[in-house]
Structure 1
Amino acid sequence: MSKKVILTIDSTCDLSEELIQQYNIDEVFPLHVLYGDQSFDDGINMFPDEIYKRFYDSGTLPTTAAISIGEYLDHFRPYVENGCEVIHISLGSSLSCSHANARAAAEMLEGVYVIDSRALSTGSGLIALEASDRIAQGMCAKDIADELNKLTDKNHASFILDTLRFLAAGGRCSAVAAFGANVLGIKPSIAVDNAKCGSMGVAKKFRGKFPACVEQYVNDQLDMYSDIVPKRIFITHSGIDEAIIESVRAILKNRGNFENIYVTRAGCTISSHCGPNCIGVLFMTES
């Protein structure tokens, strides 16, 4: 008799509570948000709007910290002791040592399969929903893990930013670059490199008013890939005007044949790096 398969995710998957319930995700493990010696948990006692408030009040940004090996053991062990197998979807391994820590914990137990999503945000979330689909089909954990590992290079995650102010404050770009982008009205997009296990890099740069740049970005993404899987696509944002979300949704409806267009709000990790007014479309392709 096959064992029950438990599905767990890192909080960086940025899935809404509604989707967590809909897709029967058993547990969300929060990454840590650090302000000096104070530690908070992503989505539990620290949220993006609080990060923004602290930044605008004091210019201070947090750092994010991985889930430790011991914490992963505490999460996984009860499921294993209850006779279950576990599929865990982690943040891309080049972005955090959370994946390595989860793997180390899994190696101390039996039947725990940790998937390097090679992505972040709902790029990782897409892999989680694929896992859920396969659990619902009755597949065993090993077979699910084998299939998921073949999907990660078909996963496309990118965002467009309204400002580089947060990246500059966090030391992820120079103040000069941020100032220049602001003066010239440049709105950069950033994209995940799946080949590098989820590392982020600057992709295309857009110029003009932000709403128009967002529309250009979305159309460019749809033009770039001719074989987008129509089953589901995400619009994920870090706090943005509803009109921009609706303009993106309209483009996706007009240009695609998507069965599900999900809108989610990014958690503390993306938000602390990119700030508000960041939005992306995230999807999978057939090849």
Structure 2
Amino acid sequence: MSYKVIVDSCGELTEEMKKSGCFETASLKIEVAGQQIVDDETFDQGEFLKLVAASPECPKSSCPSPERYMEGFHCDADHVYAVTLSSELSGSYNSALLGKNLYCEEYGEKDIYVFNSRSASVGETLIALKIAECEEKGMSFQDVIDTVEEYIAEQDTYFVLETLETLRKNGRLTGLKAIVATALNIKPVMGATAEGTICQLGQARGIKKALVKMVDEIARRLKEPGRKILAISHCNCPERARQVKEMILEKADFRDVIIVDTAGISSMYASDGGVIVVV
């Protein structure tokens, strides 16, 4: 059976995924300094970060339309999946569900399923790869859904950012007590709850100590790393991402390791220097 995986653009596709022909990106849009930027292959991270740094206003994002998802579902593949940002952080999931309904009303029933990643960035990447792995094994459509939903439930997301201002100003830290202590250079270690909201796991003074604390937290929670892929995304800091990888690999061995640079939406929220880890 043929398959297709649509990933909203908060999830980064590796070069191998782009070449496979099985993955497609549904682009979100970013508005900053009076400009609208489409988060697709034309996104220029360097220019974007300069715009953000120069703008007094916080960048904002908008999710793909239901019609965009409907268009993606309209294809020759027998099984079609969508992977979206956590529904607690974006309207992308609900937009994809509506796109599925619109498709079925227009063209009839088809095997389409929308996964709420309960994560973001490279977490979505891992979910898309898991779908492909299950499909390549010849699993039935329902077995793929069940296996991947179980995988999502076991997945853990961690991140350390230079600043949480974009997340805060866009209302993505709702429910968290005040954690900003810029004068003391306090950097929170953040994660995702089982529901896909953002939570604080700890904090440290300075980015280096915060990254060490994040790695310790990953090691403490890690189960069966040998069957997992370690995935790291970074916003314009490849050396920092490499150091995090080495620190984690000193504590555990993984089936594989992926490092990607953040695309548009992840760059917007991670900000310059942010690191995201998903296992």
Shorter-normalised TM-score: what interval?
0.7 to 0.9
Structure 1 residue runs of 5 or longer lacking an equivalent are: none
Find the partner of 2:94 among 97, 100, 107: 100
Q: For residues 46-102 of structure 1, give each alpha carbon's deviation from its aligned partner in whole angstroms, at most 9, with x where no partner exists.
A: 34322211122233332110111111111111x1xx362212212111111111111
| Counterpart residue identity of residue 13, structure 2 | L
2:233/2:259 contact within 8 Å kept: yes
**Which of 87, 91, 116 is the aligned partner of 2:85?**
91
Aligned-CA RMSD value: 2.5
Going from structure 1 to structure 2, the CA distance change for 1:250 and 1:277 (only over 3 Å counts) comes to same
| Aligned counterpart in structure 2 of residue 50 of structure 1, from 44, 47, 63 | 47
Q: Which residue of 2 aligns with 1:260?
A: 256
Number of corresponding residues = 270
Contact preservation (8 Å) 1:51, 1:62: no
- 2:73 and 2:135 mapped to 1: Cα distance? 17
Query: How far, CA to CA, are the matches of 2:152 and 2:238 in structure 1?
Result: 31
1:67 is matched with 64
Report the CA distance shift for 1:214/1:28 in structure 2 as closer, same or farther (over 3 A).
same
Structure 2 distance, partners of 1:83, 1:14, is 22
SS in 2 for 1:104: helix
1:124 aligns with 2:150: no
Q: Which moved more, 1:149-158 or 1:46-55?
A: 46-55
Distance 1:189 1:253 in 2: 19
Give me the TM-score of the superposition, normalised by structure 1. Answer: 0.84
Report the alpha carbon displacement of residue 41 of structure 1 after superposing the two structures with TM: 1.6
Separation in 2, partners of 1:193, 1:25: 30
Amino acid at match of 2:254: F
**Matches for 1:173-188 after TM superposition, within 5 Å:** 181-188=181-188
Question: Are the aligned partners of 2:33 and 2:51 in contact in 1 as well (CA < 8 Å)?
Answer: no
Provide structure 2 residue ranges, at least 5 long, that are not aligned to the other structure. 105-109
Whether 2:15 is the aligned partner of 1:17: answer yes
Displacement after TM superposition at 1:141 (Å): 2.5
TM-score normalized by the length of structure 2: 0.86
Asked if the contact 2:235/2:275 (under 8 Å) is kept, the reply is yes
Take 1:50 and 1:169, find their aligned partners in 2: how far apart are those partners?
22
Q: Partner residue of 1:141?
A: 141
Which region of structure 1 is more displaced relative to structure 2, 89-98 or 221-230? 221-230
Alignment of 1:198-277 (within 5 A): 198-207=196-205, 209-228=206-225, 230-240=227-237, 242=239, 244-277=240-273
| 1:161-208 C-alpha deviation (Å, 9 max, x unpaired) | 12345445656679xx68x622112111221112x2x2212321112x
Q: Secondary structure at the match of 2:200?
A: strand
The alpha carbon displacement at 1:259 in A equals: 2.3
Q: CA deviation at 1:20?
A: 3.7
Per the alignment, residue 107 of structure 2 pairs with none
User: Which amino acid counterpart does residue 92 of structure 1 have in structure 2?
Assistant: S
1:104 and 1:168 map into 2 onto residues whose CA distance is 28
Contact 1:191-1:201 at 8 Å conserved across structures:
yes
CA displacement at 1:212 relative to structure 2: 3.2
Cα 1:117/1:165, change in 2 over 3 Å: closer
Other structure's SS at 2:120 match: coil
The alignment-based identity, stated in percent, is 23
Q: Which moved more, 1:224-233 or 1:68-77?
A: 224-233
